[in-house]
């Protein structure tokens, strides 16, 4: 079968990758979507059941650190584009085990860049699209926003590794003319997120009547984006973004952690038919995350003005949909947490 384009997605079995792969496979039957994923604790093929037998989809289990494998895949599939999501993504894990973050996020990205560079002797209509994070910009005070011009100031091993990978991607653009685009996105939420991240962790703990560990005083701000809105932005940027450019993506939806947890508690009380206030009693303030960034907020006006993208899902609706999904998919939650998963604080401080 011949396709108009062959697109390599890395990390397509993870949280954001799951939504992106499904979107692309369904929207572009004339594109062959090849999903390369190592299937770490964060990758789960079960997420992709609905598209796994589609003719324009291929899954390959493999590591982006395996240069030979990458070269072989580029030779076999003659990729026209790469959308690179594979990464170690959880800040707390980067604090306890930075090495795997440096390996996958920095060296892995470099291996992928090298493979593209070696295979793409003709650069016409090729694109290496690197998916990154707003955390590379560091931490904001009470006011202001991250723009594409904000200087990099990463504070955690995770964000330092992502910043480093962004720099490498830009270096390959300037040094070797590799056609690249980078986008830096704020906090995503929605179905299929591994329950180590704030929102699914809180939902899972409320369901199981376990303490809700709020770091520090809870007065830390994140800008939340519905994951399908992120996938739609990636699709748009991949199709219409300008080579060499960076695009910020954000939800325009700032919440202090403690406010967000209160909202979730109220939604969960209602869904679980518990008396109002029951879940809030589970809130436990715990020792702060080391180097905890105070506030993230994205100015996404470049993406809006150039390409016409805006978030579509309102926060309260998105949180309710997320809570409903996790309650309806208790077996998924059980399976992904039944491995070696331990919450950072359980491991560090035993609470």
Helix (H) or strand (E) segment spanning residue 249: strand 246-249
Active site residue 52: no
CA distances from 1 to 49, 76, 125, 149, 343 (A): 22, 14, 21, 44, 45
CA–CA gap between residue 79 and residue 221 (Å, rounded) = 39
Active site residue 245: no
Please identify which residue in the block is written with the tokens 């920095």: 106
Q: Nearest approach, Cβ of 22 to ligand NAD (angstroms)?
A: 13
CA–CA gap between residue 253 and residue 331 (Å, rounded) = 30
Query: For the window 136-175, what string marks contact with ligand NAD as x by the rule CB under 6 A?
Result: --------------------------x-------------
CB atoms within 10 A of CB 96: 12
The DSSP letter of residue 156 is: S
CA–CA gap between residue 339 and residue 134 (Å, rounded) = 30
Closest C-alpha to 141, from 78, 83, 217, 221: 221
Torsion of CA 156, 161, 167, 168, to 10 degrees: 170
- What is Dmax (Cα atoms) for the chain? 64
For residue 201, state whether it binds ligand NAD (rule: CB under 6 A): no
Q: Which of these is catalytic: 37, 63, 80, 134? A: 134
Q: Which of these is catalytic: 37, 63, 92, 135? A: 135
Query: Is 6 or 186 the residue whose CB approaches ligand NAD more closely?
Result: 186
Query: Is 104 or 133 the residue whose CB approaches ligand DAU more closely?
Result: 133
Active site residue 135: yes
Q: Nearest approach, Cβ of 163 to ligand NAD (angstroms)?
A: 11
Of residues 33, 73, 87, 214, which one binds ligand NAD by CB under 6 A? Answer: 87
Query: Is 44 or 133 the residue whose CB approaches ligand DAU more closely?
Result: 133
Residue 160 CA, distance from chain mean position: 16
Is residue 188 within 8 Å of 249, Cβ to Cβ? no
CA–CA gap between residue 294 and residue 349 (Å, rounded) = 22
Q: Nearest approach, Cβ of 332 to ligand DAU (angstroms)?
A: 18
Binding site partner of 198, from ligand DAU, ligand NAD, none, Cβ cut-off 5-8 A by kind = ligand DAU
Q: Nearest approach, Cβ of 37 to ligand DAU (angstroms)?
A: 16
Q: Nearest approach, Cβ of 147 to ligand DAU (angstroms)?
A: 15
For residue 70, state whether it binds ligand NAD (rule: CB under 6 A): no
Binding site for ligand DAU (CB under 6 A): 89-91, 133-135, 186-187, 197-198, 201, 213-215, 220, 222, 257, 289, 296
Query: Is 67 or 266 the residue whose CB approaches ligand NAD more closely?
Result: 67
Q: Two tokens at 93? A: 């894990």
For residue 228, state whether it binds ligand NAD (rule: CB under 6 A): no
Catalytic residues, by residue number, are: 134-135, 158
Interface with ligand NAD (CB under 6 A)? 10-11, 13-17, 37-40, 42-43, 63-65, 85-89, 104, 108, 131, 133, 162, 185, 187-188, 194
């Amino acid at each position: 079968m011949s396709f108009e384009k062959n697109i390599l997605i890395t990390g397509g079995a993870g949280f954001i990758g799951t939504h992106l792969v499904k979107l692309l496979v369904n929207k572009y039957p004339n594109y062959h979507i090849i999903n390369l994923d190592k299937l770490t604790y964060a990758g789960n093929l079960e997420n992709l059941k609905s598209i796994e037998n589609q003719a324009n989809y291929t899954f390959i289990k493999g590591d982006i650190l395996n240069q030979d494998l990458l070269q072989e895949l580029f030779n076999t599939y003659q990729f026209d584009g790469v959308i690179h999501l594979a990464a170690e993504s959880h800040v707390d894990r980067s604090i306890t085990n930075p090495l795997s973050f440096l390996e996958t996020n920095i060296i892995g990205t470099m291996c992928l860049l090298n493979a593209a560079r070696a295979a793409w002797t003709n650069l016409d209509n090729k694109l290496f699209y690197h998916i990154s994070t707003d955390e590379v910009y560091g931490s904001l005070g009470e006011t202001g926003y991250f723009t594409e011009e904000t200087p990099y100031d990463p504070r955690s091993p995770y964000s330092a590794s992502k910043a480093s990978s962004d720099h490498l991607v830009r270096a390959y653009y300037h040094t070797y003319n590799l056609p690249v685009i980078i986008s830096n996105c704020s906090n995503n939420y929605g179905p299929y997120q591994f329950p180590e991240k704030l929102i699914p962790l809180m939902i899972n703990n409320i369901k199981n009547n376990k303490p809700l560990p709020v770091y520090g005083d809870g007065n830390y701000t994140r800008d939340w984006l519905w994951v399908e809105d992120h996938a739609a932005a990636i699709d748009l940027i991949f199709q219409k973004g300008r080579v060499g450019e960076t695009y910020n993506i954000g939800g325009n939806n700032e919440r202090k952690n403690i406010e967000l947890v209160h909202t979730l508690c109220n939604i969960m009380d209602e869904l679980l038919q518990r008396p109002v206030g029951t879940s809030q009693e589970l809130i436990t303030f715990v020792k702060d995350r080391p180097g905890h960034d105070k506030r993230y907020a994205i100015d996404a006006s470049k993406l809006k003005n150039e390409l016409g993208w805006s978030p579509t899902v309102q926060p309260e609706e998105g949180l309710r949909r997320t809570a409903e999904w996790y309650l309806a998919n208790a077996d998924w939650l059980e399976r992904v947490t039944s491995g070696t998963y331990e919450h950072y604080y359980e491991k560090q401080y035993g609470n």
